[in-house]
Amino acid sequence: MKRNNKKAIILLSGGLDSATTLAIALKMGFHCYAMTFRYGQRHNIEIDSSRRIAQKMGVIEHRIIDIDLAQFGGSALTDNSINVPMDRAVSGKFNDIPVTYVPARNTIFLSYALAWAEVMGLFDIFIGVNSTDYSGYPDCRSEFVAAFENMANLATAATVEGKGKYTIHTPIINMTKAQIILKGIEIGVDYSLTHSCYCPAENNRPCGHCDSCQLRLKGFAEAGLPDPVKYAD
Amino acid sequence: MKRNNKKAIILLSGGLDSATTLAIALKMGFHCYAMTFRYGQRHNIEIDSSRRIAQKMGVIEHRIIDIDLAQFGGSALTDNSINVPMDRAVSGKFNDIPVTYVPARNTIFLSYALAWAEVMGLFDIFIGVNSTDYSGYPDCRSEFVAAFENMANLATAATVEGKGKYTIHTPIINMTKAQIILKGIEIGVDYSLTHSCYCPAENNRPCGHCDSCQLRLKGFAEAGLPDPVKYAD
């Protein structure tokens, strides 16, 4: 790939998908700025992972933004009274949108990325959404991302003044989890640094049973590789 | 107007435009939930105004959300090193987007409103943007609002599951400031409660010289009414 020397913002959760997305952006030659949200998620241990990933992969600046989505609730990830589903079959798509969906989360994350992008004068934003192997999350679909991109290009002074045009990059949106892992390994992602579990055990080890763990384990199995992360007993 | 008994969220800044928008929503029969942001604005006295307006006008719940847009800067409203322009001519539109534009602010505000709306199961959001008399703010234009509405209807579980369709209401978008004031007076808005100034004096009285004060004063003058707010000497 041709190096482009442009700057980009990467939404970095600390999980497998966003770490791979960061690696792809770096491989494309972008100078990368990472943005992570402490939003009230029960698995806020992922923020530590995001720090390690950002440091190891050489992002230029890593912003950790505090926003309180738990005040709205409505998700198993932000409301402890809603249980995270365990040991579900994760082959193919779910029929229903899982209770781990967080209302308007990616819309809010991308809006903050847009604010930072405009102030920095950059026009490339990467988000590691993935619609193939999982999730049924409405804000992980390409039609949502395209609509956000269209809105972003009408929202800001930078675009109205003709300084550029925003692109929301979704390099892994159509990959299976196994394909993502194989791509990441190829370009040097250290998956031992990543955290995927929605419901970590007391020692912060992944549970191995929530949807996110199950999809990750299935992905490594299909890729024919061991998951370097140590799971709870 | 027919009363509809539906719930709506109103973005309430504490200024003249959003107070009028709230009054219009109430007049339409909506049960109103107000949302105000403490975002790092230099005129955070407007939050006190929003509280008084919400209380007096009878909103069911008023959420004040803390978000830190000052961390990004890029606006005279969030960065004290950028001066608020004073004593500019405010007849018609400005040629340039003013430095009081806050990058992606309305995108972020509407994204939070969308999150709250989805959790509450409501589909009507009001924002008091106004494109006629002023501002050149890109995120006050109808094309931005339409694009946000389109995106919102792709972003959420509520719409994907067919529970409803979001409408972003902008009842004053095409009114002049004088028309807004006359409409507000007609439906009982108490403008003595509102705060418009970007750059209040030490006693929190409006300066009378920033764009926002100038537009307000011009609006009251054109409406042939006195502004009930007391300005700094």
Q: Is A141 on the interface with B (CB under 8 A)?
A: yes
Residue A103 lies in a domain: yes
Q: What is the pLDDT of residue B134?
A: 57
Q: What is the pLDDT of residue A93?
A: 57
Residue A1 lies in a domain: no
Residue A212 lies in a domain: no
Rg (CA), chain B: 17
Contact A104 B111 (CB under 8 A): yes
Residue B31 lies in a domain: yes
Q: Is B62 on the interface with A (CB under 8 A)?
A: no
> Three-class SS string for chain B?
CCCCCCEEEEECCCCHHHHHHHHHHHHCCCEEEEEEEECCCCCCCHHHHHHHHHHHHCCCEEEEEECCCCCCCCCCCCCCCCCCCECCCCCCCCCCCCCCCCCCHHHHHHHHHHHHHHHHCCCEEECCCCCCCCCCCHHHCHHHHHHHHHHHHHHCHHHHCCCCCCEEECCCCCCCHHHHHHHHHHCCCCHHHCCCCCCCCCCCCCCCCEHHHHHHHHHHHHHCCCCCCCCCC
Contact A154 B144 (CB under 8 A): yes
Q: Name every chain A residue with its beta carbon within 8 A of the beta carbon of B111.
A: 104, 107-108, 111
**% of chain B at pLDDT higher than 70:** 93
What are the Cα distances from residue B23, in Å, to B20, B56, B228?
5, 11, 18
Which tokens belong to B107?
């995108």
Residues 6 or more apart in contact with residue B2 via CB below 8 angstroms: B29
The residue that leads in pLDDT, B94 or A221, is A221
Q: Is A159 on the interface with B (CB under 8 A)?
A: yes
The answer to whether the CB of A49 falls within 8 A of the CB of A77 is no
The answer to whether the CB of A166 falls within 8 A of the CB of A155 is no
Contact A103 B115 (CB under 8 A): yes
Q: Name every chain B residue with its beta carbon within 8 A of the beta carbon of A125.
A: none
Q: What is the pLDDT of residue A2?
A: 52
Contact A139 B156 (CB under 8 A): yes
Which tokens belong to A102?
């967080």
What is the total count of domains within chain A? 1
Q: What is the pLDDT of residue B93?
A: 57
A97-138: pLDDT as tens digits: 889 999 999 999 999 999 999 999 999 999 999 986 556 789
**CA B28 – CA B171 distance, rounded (Å):** 11
**CA B90 – CA B82 distance, rounded (Å):** 20
Contact A111 B108 (CB under 8 A): yes
Q: Residue A95: which domain range?
A: 7-195
Residue B37 lies in a domain: yes
* pTM of the entire predicted model: 0.95
Residue A220 lies in a domain: no
| φ and ψ of A167, to 5 deg | -120, 125
Residue A145 lies in a domain: yes
**CA A175 – CA A134 distance, rounded (Å):** 10
pLDDT above 60 for B179: yes
Residue B63: Cβ within 10 Å count: 18
Residues 6 or more apart in contact with residue B125 via CB below 8 angstroms: B8, B9, B10, B11, B110, B113, B114, B117, B166, B167, B168, B169
Which residues on adjacent β-strands are paired with residue A9? A33, A125
At B140, is the pLDDT very low, low, confident or very high (cuts 50, 70, 90)?
very high
At B2, is the pLDDT very low, low, confident or very high (cuts 50, 70, 90)?
low
Q: Return the number of CB contacts < 8 Å for A and B.
A: 126
A47-71: pLDDT as tens digits: 999 999 999 999 999 999 999 999 9
Task: State the CATH number of the domain containing residue B23.
Answer: 3.40.50.620
Residue B233 lies in a domain: no
- By the 10 Å C-beta count (0-12 exposed, 13-18 middle, 19+ buried), A225 is classed as middle
Touching A: B residues 63-82, CB under 8 Å? 63, 65-69, 71-74
Contact A107 B97 (CB under 8 A): no
B60-87: pLDDT as tens digits: 999 999 999 999 999 999 999 999 999 8
| φ and ψ of B30, to 5 deg | -75, 145
Q: What is the pLDDT of residue B94?
A: 57
- Interface ipTM above 0.85: yes
What are the Cα distances from residue A132, in Å, to A101, A178, B117, B213?
16, 11, 28, 52
A144-198: pLDDT as tens digits: 999 999 999 999 999 989 999 999 999 999 999 999 999 999 999 999 999 999 9
